[in-house]
Amino acid sequence: MSGIAVPGRGAAGLFTQWNRRAVFGWVGLLLLALVPVASHATDTPYLINAMTRFVIYGLAAVSLDLVLGYGALISFGHAMFFGLGGYVVAIVTFHAVEAGPLFGWAGSTQALVVWPIALACCALLGWGVGYLALRTSGVQFIMITLAFGQMVYFILVSLQVYGGDDGLMMSQRSQLPGIDLADPVSFYYVSLAVLALWTLFCVKLVNSRYGMVLQALRQSERRAVNLGVAPMPYRLSAFVISAVGTGMAGILWANYAELVTPDMAAWTKSGELMAIVILGGVGTLLGPIAGAAVFLGLEQALSAWTEHWMFIMGPILVLVVLAGKHGLFGHWLGKRHG
């Protein structure tokens, strides 16, 4: 792929678009890896916290882009997986540390036990929601995913045992053998490693035969079906994979904030995630990560400046849409499709 020059794109053929993405990705990863060093050198410890948030949102954004950009499935309920992943970790930890057994099981604080359970829950929910929602398409798909997201939100609100509206504090972070997640720098590197590996996996996935079929379905369902492709398994599996990635972001968030709240699954969170992906460029995988940086950076800068930051953020989102469909980085990263 990388040897093929793409005509009409790129700075005088210096980089093909895939080369440019690779450079963007690896340089980005290198810079992110240096953050704790920079934070230490400049004596700005809050930098690590800010960057951890960004990395976690980047993970959710890459996952959402998988369905949004490559499956053309506009999931407006994706925050439900973010919330579920976080809640499963917090609830299991709560039972292990403070409350009694959960369904006869003592609970656990081991990441290698709890995290897979949380991911499995997200996969299961993703499968169920995807199975029902994928029976429809277009605007109905948007509304149904939104409605399921709200359902999860209301269920989380009603869990009085686990804090209801106020959410549930985590008395401690999950434990990984050999790595102290309570240490901000270690936690940052673990999050960054997850983001890097997941992004690499997603890039490989969309360029595999599977990914090509998924994109063919997006471009013309009728053509793909006539070639003998059954749409449902491809779309459903993409939805489940995306749910798992978003759930992982939720797991990391719960550990980062040491608190889970129903807001993690609220529809506004789904809207934010979607805004991040569109800001960065739909269907570019790396763009949404940059979109997360821009969105969180804007949020931070605007909210530091005025409490009415949404008064400015709202119109910015509108302008991004009116300006075009490539987002801030989509054009530069070279969307592979129109």
Partner 1 sequence: MALLFEQLLNGLQFGAMLFMLASGLTLIFGIMGVINLTHGSFYMVGAYCGAFALAHTNSFAAGAVAGLAGAALYGLLVEFTVIRRLYKRDHLYQVLATFGLILFTNEAVSMIFGRQPPMVEIPDFLQGTVPLAPGFQYPLMRLAFIVVGALVALGLWFLINRTRVGMLVRAGADDREMVDALGIDIQKLYSVVFGLGALLCGLAGVMAAPLLAVEIGMGERVLITTFVVIVIGGVGSVRGAMAGALLVGMVDSLGRAYFPQLLGAMLSPEVADMLAAGLVSASVYVLMALVLIFRPKGLLG
Name the residue nearer to partner 1 (CB basis): 210 or 267. 267
Q: Does 155 bind partner 1 (CB under 8 A)?
A: yes
Q: Which residue in 59, 88, 282, 296 binds partner 1 (CB under 8 A)?
A: 282
**Which residue type does 292 have?**
A
Name the residue nearer to partner 1 (CB basis): 36 or 167. 167
| Locus of tokens 């490693």 | 193
Judged by CB under 8 A, the number of residues near partner 1 is 44
Query: Least separation, in Å, of the C-beta of 303 and partner 1?
Result: 12
Query: Least separation, in Å, of the C-beta of 157 and partner 1?
Result: 7
Query: Least separation, in Å, of the C-beta of 258 and partner 1?
Result: 24
Q: Does 230 bind partner 1 (CB under 8 A)?
A: no
Q: Using the rule CB under 8 A, give the single segment among 194-202, 230-238, 316-324, 328-336 that binds partner 1.
A: 316-324
Reported as half-sphere exposure (CB side, CA atoms, 13 A), residue 6 has a value of 15
Query: Least separation, in Å, of the C-beta of 78 and partner 1?
Result: 12
CA distance 192 to 15: 26
| Locus of tokens 């763009």 | 287
Residue 208 buriedness (CB in 10 A; 0-12 / 13-18 / 19+)? exposed
- Return all residues near 116 (Cβ < 8 A) that are at least 6 apart: none
Radius of gyration of the chain (CA): 20
Name the residue nearer to partner 1 (CB basis): 58 or 262. 262
Beta bridge partners of 102: 105
CA distance 164 to 306: 30
Contact between 231 and 221 (Cβ < 8 Å): yes
Residue 221 buriedness (CB in 10 A; 0-12 / 13-18 / 19+)? middle
Angle, helix 267-280 to helix 286-305, in steps of 10 degrees: 120
Q: Does 151 bind partner 1 (CB under 8 A)?
A: yes
Q: Does 157 bind partner 1 (CB under 8 A)?
A: yes
Query: Least separation, in Å, of the C-beta of 153 and partner 1?
Result: 9
**CA–CA distance from 21 to each of 28, 40, 235 (Å)?**
10, 29, 25
Q: Does 274 bind partner 1 (CB under 8 A)?
A: yes
Q: Does 204 bind partner 1 (CB under 8 A)?
A: no
Name the residue nearer to partner 1 (CB basis): 194 or 273. 273
Q: Using the rule CB under 8 A, give the single segment among 44-52, 208-216, 223-231, 305-313 that binds partner 1.
A: 305-313
Query: Least separation, in Å, of the C-beta of 335 and partner 1?
Result: 13
Q: Using the rule CB under 8 A, give the single segment among 23-31, 50-58, 78-86, 306-314 that binds partner 1.
A: 306-314
Collapsed DSSP state (helix, strand, coil) of residue 42? coil
Footprint (CB under 8 A) of partner 1, residues 73-132: 74, 76, 132
Query: Least separation, in Å, of the C-beta of 274 and partner 1?
Result: 6
Query: Least separation, in Å, of the C-beta of 160 and partner 1?
Result: 6
Angle, helix 138-158 to helix 79-97, in steps of 10 degrees: 20
Query: Least separation, in Å, of the C-beta of 120 and partner 1?
Result: 22
Question: Nearest to residue 244, comparing CAs of 109, 75, 59?
Answer: 59
Contact between 152 and 80 (Cβ < 8 Å): yes
Sign of CA dihedral 308, 309, 314, 315: positive
Beta bridge partners of 259: 169
Interacting residues with partner 1 (CB under 8 A): 68, 74, 76, 132, 135-136, 138-140, 142-144, 146-148, 150-151, 154-155, 157-161, 267-268, 271, 274-275, 278, 282, 308, 310-311, 313-318, 320-322, 325
